[in-house]
Amino acid sequence: MVKDDNEALRVILSRRSIRNYTGRPLDHASIERILEAGLSAPSAHDSRPWHVGVVRSEERKSDLIRVLHTSYMGDMKRHGFSEETIRRKLERSYDIYSSADTIIVLFGKTDLPRNKLAGSFEQERIMVIQSVTAAATQMWIAAESLGLSMCWFSAPLFCANAVLDFFGLGTEWQPLCLLTLGEGRETPKAKKDFAMSEYVTFL
């Protein structure tokens, strides 16, 4: 793995997924800096095809968790999960979401100005996902640089309409991911080493 004394690279290489938070309130200025970093990301056609929902109050976090869990529980029941497994999974996700100071949900536009070179709308849809992913990644790196922790969840994908209703958004948007943000409680595990040759082709 590449090692470097460059501060930006150190932050990127030290980033981890953290699922346990202290619950200590974060200052609003830090959250705004993280959001600004994300909203400064590159995007397809420079279109900025994103919207960001930020939930901080305990009451609204509880409401959002209820929306996510209602869908999650229904899906697990339909797929034959045992009551004990459902209880355990819901308790685990509740602990993660509720201990985070902030929950950030990123949405992508469901339509973009058509690129004449695109053979189908599917290519434009992928560009939106790529753009939102870049924004979320820059938020994560910014959080790491401020000594804060995040974890990425895809839960909103499975209950898109309910999440849109929660944030008062219409179907011109699609929820793509959820980021938990807070002061990390756990000590991150060392990232697994890998051989660059497994993933990279140099020509």
Question: Per-residue pLDDT tens for 19-64?
Answer: 999 999 999 999 999 999 999 999 988 889 999 999 999 999 999 9
Specify the CATH number for the domain of residue 159.
Answer: 3.40.109.10
Residue 1 forms part of a structural domain: no
What domain range includes position 146? 7-198
Question: If you write DSSP's letter for every residue of the chain in order, what string do you get?
Answer: ------HHHHHHHH--B---B--PPPPHHHHHHHHHHHHTS--GGG---EEEEEE-SHHHHHHHHHHHHHHHHHHHHHTT--HHHHHHHHHHHHHHHHHSSEEEEEEEES--PPPTT-SSHHHHHHHHHHHHHHHHHHHHHHHHHTT-EEEEE-GGGGGHHHHHHHHT--TTEEEEEEEEEE-B-SPPPPPPP--GGGT----
Q: What pLDDT, on a 0 to 100 scale, did the predictor assign at position 118?
A: 61
> Does residue 120 register a pLDDT over 70?
no
Residue 80 forms part of a structural domain: yes
Q: What pLDDT, on a 0 to 100 scale, did the predictor assign at position 73?
A: 93
Residue 90 forms part of a structural domain: yes
- Count of domains for the chain: 1
Say which residue, 110 or 119, is predicted with more confidence.
110
Q: What pLDDT, on a 0 to 100 scale, did the predictor assign at position 100?
A: 97
Residue 61 forms part of a structural domain: yes
Condensed to tens digits (0 to 9), the pLDDT of residues 151-198 reads: 999 999 999 999 999 999 999 999 999 999 999 997 777 778 889 899
Residue 73 forms part of a structural domain: yes
Residue 2 forms part of a structural domain: no
Condensed to tens digits (0 to 9), the pLDDT of residues 59-115 reads: 999 999 999 999 999 999 999 999 999 999 999 999 999 999 999 999 999 976 666
Residue 99 forms part of a structural domain: yes
Condensed to tens digits (0 to 9), the pLDDT of residues 137-153 reads: 999 999 999 999 999 99
Q: What pLDDT, on a 0 to 100 scale, did the predictor assign at position 199?
A: 93
